[in-house]
């Protein structure tokens, strides 16, 4: 069978395929509505939902929810009758399955292990994701977009969310499910998974690129400068920019909100940066400390 068809029809992966379809559909739909509303608002016309302060819960919502609940129940029942739980061979403590994959919802995090120190990828980043999600209501001071779709009024929030959720979370899951095979090597969908495959891809640390041992004090200092420079610079530079262009926005936000938002944002952005460094420049670590590596 074609490896691609084989992999997307695997019982384990049906859920991911459904997820891809559903998420794409709703994302497209939401953006479409947002753009339409933006157009209307640009013409000075009102938008459905913008003015509505109170709406009946029962008729428009609960009924639809009930129907959807029924549809989902029917779907899940049929699915569970037709497709058996995907068991593999009897567990053998002496043999590690290859590839050893996490449950699908954690595959994004597992993918991060390619680029980050396990302590960062497995502990720090997930914690920051949760903290960040909790913090959203407190740092989002934009009152627009309640009850209706809009893009132009919430550009920053929507773009950040789209990047963080669609790209960093879902896309990495899809990569982990469909593109990572034995040895956690990259496989295109038309490639056969091969446990014997050998790929030679030497990596190096940032400071070794300019000829300094990354484990020496010099390397340590260079790494520290780069990492701390990114963190501090990444917070100060936008501050200067906002101060010059949108001082009132900065005023509204306040120092604490600004620094939390910015810290979370640049941490998020460090992920694609590190991925590019790793994939394009074969950089393994930027900064090596005795306790953790960045």
As a whole number of angstroms, the distance between CA 43 and CA 26 comes to 26
Pick between residue 87 and residue 255 the one whose CB is nearest to other proteins: 87
Nearer to other proteins (CB atom), residue 1 or residue 255: 1
Q: How many CA atoms lie within 13 A of 129 on its CB side?
A: 16
Part in contact with other proteins (CB under 8 A); list of ranges 81-89, 136-144, 150-158, 212-220: 81-89
C-beta of residue 99 within 8 angstroms of C-beta of residue 179: no
β-bridge partners, 180? 186
Of 201-260, binders to other proteins (CB under 8 A) are none
Task: Print the binding letters for residues 158-197 with other proteins: x by CB under 8 A, - otherwise.
Answer: ----------------------------------x-xxx-
**From CA 7, how far away is CA 148, in angstroms rounded?**
39
Report in angstroms how near the CB of residue 215 gets to other proteins at its nearest. Answer: 36
Given the rule CB under 8 A, which of 77-85, 117-125, 230-238, 272-280 is the region that contacts other proteins?
Answer: 77-85
Q: What is the number of H-type helices and E-type strands within the chain?
A: 12, 0
Query: In this chain, which of 77, 127, 142, 259 binds other proteins, going by CB under 8 A?
Result: 77
Task: Dihedral sign for Cα 44, 49, 52, 53, please.
Answer: negative
- What is the DSSP secondary structure assignment for residue 104, as one 8-state letter? G
Tokens 């499910």 correspond to what residue? 177
| Token code pair at residue 115 | 């680029």
Q: Residue 51, interface with other proteins (CB under 8 A)? A: no
Q: Give min distance, CB of 86 to other proteins, in A.
A: 9
Binding footprint of other proteins on the chain (CB under 8 A): 59-60, 63-64, 66-67, 70-71, 73-74, 77-78, 81, 87-90, 92, 95, 97-98, 192, 194-196
């Amino acid at each position: 069978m074609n490896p691609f068809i084989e992999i997307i029809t695997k019982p384990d992966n049906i859920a991911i395929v459904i997820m891809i379809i559903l998420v794409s559909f709703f994302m497209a739909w939401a953006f479409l509505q947002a753009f339409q509303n933006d157009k209307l608002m640009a013409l000075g016309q009102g938008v459905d939902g913008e003015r509505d302060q109170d709406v009946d819960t029962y008729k428009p919502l609960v009924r639809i929810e009930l129907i959807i609940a029924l549809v989902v129940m029917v779907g899940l029942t049929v699915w569970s009758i037709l497709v058996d739980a995907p068991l593999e061979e009897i567990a053998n403590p002496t043999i590690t399955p290859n590839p050893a994959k996490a449950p699908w919802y954690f595959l994004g995090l597992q993918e991060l292990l390619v680029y980050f120190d396990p302590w960062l990828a497995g502990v720090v980043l997930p914690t920051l994701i949760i903290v960040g999600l909790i913090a959203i209501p407190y740092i989002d001071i934009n009152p627009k977009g309640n009850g209706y779709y809009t893009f132009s009024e919430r550009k920053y929030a929507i773009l950040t969310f789209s990047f963080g959720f669609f790209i960093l979370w879902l896309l990495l899951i899809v990569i982990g499910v469909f593109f990572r095979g034995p040895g956690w090597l990259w496989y295109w969908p038309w490639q056969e998974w091969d446990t014997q495959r050998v790929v030679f891809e030497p990596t190096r640390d940032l400071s070794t690129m300019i000829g300094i041992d990354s484990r020496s004090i010099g390397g340590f200092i260079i790494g520290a400068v780069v990492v701390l420079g990114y963190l501090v610079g990444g917070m100060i530079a936008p501050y200067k920019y906002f101060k010059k262009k949108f001082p009132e926005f900065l005023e509204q936000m306040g120092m604490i909100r600004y620094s939390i938002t910015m810290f979370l944002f640049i941490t998020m952005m460090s992920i694609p940066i590190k991925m590019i460094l790793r994939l394009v420049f074969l950089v393994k670590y930027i900064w090596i400390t005795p306790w953790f590596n960045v």
